[in-house]
Structure 1
Amino acid sequence: MRSASLGGLEVSRVGLGIMGMSAFYTGAGRSEAEFVRTIHRALDLGITHIDTAEVYGPFTNEELLGRALKGRREHAVVATKFGMVSYTGRPGFDSSPANVRLAVEGSLRRLGTDHLDLYYQHRVDPGTPVEETVGALAELVAEGKVRHIGLSEAGPATIRRAHAMHPIAAVQSEYSLWTRDPEAAVLELLRELGIGLVPYAPLGHGFLTGGIRSLEGLDADDWRRTNPRFSGGNLERNLRIVDEVRAVTAEVGATPAQVALAWLLARGGDIAPIPGTTRVSRVEENAGSDDVALTTEQLARLEALTPAAGDRHDAGGMAAIDR
Structure 2
Amino acid sequence: MARRFGGRFSPQPPLDGSVPRPPARPAPGEIRHPLESRTRWVTIMAIPFLISAFWQDPAGLALHLVAFGAIASGMWMTREGLQAEAAYDARRIARRPAIPRKLFGGILTGLGLAIGSYVPGAEAGAGLIGIAGAMLHLLAFGSDPMRDKGMEGIDAVQQDRAQRIVAEGETHLQAMQQAILRTGDRRLEARVGLFAAAARDLFAHVEDNPDNIPAVRRYLSVYLQGAGDATAKFADLYAQTRDPRARQDYETLLNDLETEFAARRAKLLEGGRADLDIEISVLRERLAREGVRPPPAPAEPAELQRPMTLDDLVIPRQTDKPRR
**Shared fold by TM > 0.5?**
no
More RCO (CA 8 Å, sep 6+)? 1
Greater fraction helix: 2
From the CA coordinates, give the structure whose radius of gyration is larger.
Answer: 2
Instruction: Output the TM-score relative to the length of structure 2.
Output: 0.22
Using the size of structure 1 for normalisation, the TM-score is 0.22
